[in-house]
Structure 1
């Protein structure tokens, strides 16, 4: 294998088409097909399945794709590290953010601080679900990600940032400043899908109390969730930062859940296999320094001990 063939292979899988990949790579399609054939012969494995709709990787191709992205990422970082030795930090640093987390309150301070201290560094912010963000960190598509993370993940190193309490949010019949979980069980609930950290924590709490949740809809979009709450059809459970954002944008109330109280740990995740570039490490240090401040967006953060 050589780096050029790995680069070609990754691009083909990313695009899902030999023809389009050939155009992007500025290489004739027969020549690109020959490069793939050579790679398959070297590994003695079929790597791509060709269909009328394009190409998809085989199981062996998926394994090679993950390794190839890691190899190419490491080569790119090595090249940048050598070129930038003794020079001003520069380049792109990619950060994943789970929507509806306290991380959203860090974005503007982070961008401003990076601009002031590292003017040649470009920060790329990507929002997605926690599971997807971890996958992108592992395969090198993201340098780091900020998300709710309750369980260790292979290939990931997590740094605890803070804990966020979970709140009940609704638009009618406010229960007061706090609400018992048993009372929540009597309400119509809008919750995210069962792979989200919030949903897993809520399901766990209900199970431990031997309660059943009355779920009437599963909603991922904050905009759709806001509309659903405004309709007064039901209530939802959100981390404090997301709850405050929703309440500020629509006539609604928020009540902290107790008996038991529920919280989620927010973590900064990086790959345990891929070293951060000097620029990415500098941005990570800035992000951690912002979290360590006593307040973000005029709100106290509970740091994990």
Structure 2
């Protein structure tokens, strides 16, 4: 089995098309197609379905994808461990972040790691909760940020902070309340059920799931009129008055800085934890990055941008 062919196979699956994968790995598309044909001939089974809409894994392809992730991950760990003996902290560290966490953390993380550990290569992936979980459990990430405060049989969770969620957009004024003259208006939580909302699709531990659970405890329905997994378009819908959304105010930067936002009362909070697989062997570079993440989130808590756990 050719390791290079396995890397190409993972790229095809991750990027959803041979054309995009060829661009990313830097080879011609016909050569990439030949590698796939050779793999399928070696295993005597079809690994991918190809169509005008892209590619999809067959059942055999799913099995190979899972094993290929493990094989390449172990090779990377072996390389990093050998290189780290008697050397400076070095190697690759991959992290998956949801957009709301990335907005605060990515640039400080990159700057600090570059200053302190110039031989560490950060691989940062931003995506929805579901996308990050899939990458993580396929062992494509060393760390992932998840909105939970406890671990499980398969993963370790280091609670770092809490996010406070706000209503963003243009709700009807009758739904808002001002406790004191001149004070910023707030939205009583029971009024959320009267608002059309645009939220991410429902997923395990995702924003939509967490909001739904909190409101269900109060017998409040959720009126979701659009489901979107794009932070940009969530904010765009709110800005155009199509529906309100619920997000941390830290996402209101750049062209969205002037979007109105309202405190929900009582507060809706969600925990943010740095997670890694219990079975994973964290290399020195990963330990170094984990300490930097803890330091930066501690600073954000001190600055009031996040709440303490």
TM class by shorter-chain length?
0.7 to 0.9
- 1:45-72 Cα distance to aligned partner (Å, 9 max, x none): x352565779754323312321221122
* TM value normalised by structure 2: 0.78
Distance verdict in 2 for CA 1:114–1:23, change over 3 Å? closer
Structure 2: distance between partners of 1:36 and 1:257:
57
Structure 2 portions without partners, runs of 5+: 179-184
Question: Does structure 2 conserve the Cα–Cα contact (< 8 Å) formed by 1:165 and 1:262?
Answer: yes
- Give the 5 Å matches for 1:1-305: 4-5=1-2, 7-15=4-12, 33=37, 36-38=40-42, 40=43, 46=45, 48-49=47-48, 57-101=57-101, 103-149=102-148, 155-171=154-170, 173=173, 174-176=176-178, 177-195=185-203, 197-242=206-251, 245=253, 249-258=257-266, 261-293=267-299, 295=301, 298-304=303-309
Question: Does structure 2 conserve the Cα–Cα contact (< 8 Å) formed by 1:149 and 1:197?
Answer: no
Structure 1: distance between partners of 2:243 and 2:33:
55
TM-superposed deviation, 1:252: 1.0
Structure 2: distance between partners of 1:183 and 1:210:
12
Question: Does structure 2 conserve the Cα–Cα contact (< 8 Å) formed by 1:169 and 1:255?
Answer: no
Structure 1 portions without partners, runs of 5+: none
- 1:120-154 Cα distance to aligned partner (Å, 9 max, x none): 22222211011211221222322212232378667
Distance verdict in 2 for CA 1:27–1:126, change over 3 Å? closer
**What's the Cα RMSD here?**
3.5
Distance verdict in 2 for CA 1:130–1:35, change over 3 Å? closer
Question: Does structure 2 conserve the Cα–Cα contact (< 8 Å) formed by 1:148 and 1:267?
Answer: yes
How many residue pairs end up in the alignment?
Answer: 291
* TM value normalised by structure 1: 0.79
Question: Does structure 2 conserve the Cα–Cα contact (< 8 Å) formed by 1:168 and 1:236?
Answer: yes
Moved more, 262-271 or 224-233: 224-233
SS state of the match for residue 179, structure 1?
strand
Structure 2: distance between partners of 1:179 and 1:52:
48
Structure 2: distance between partners of 1:52 and 1:197:
31
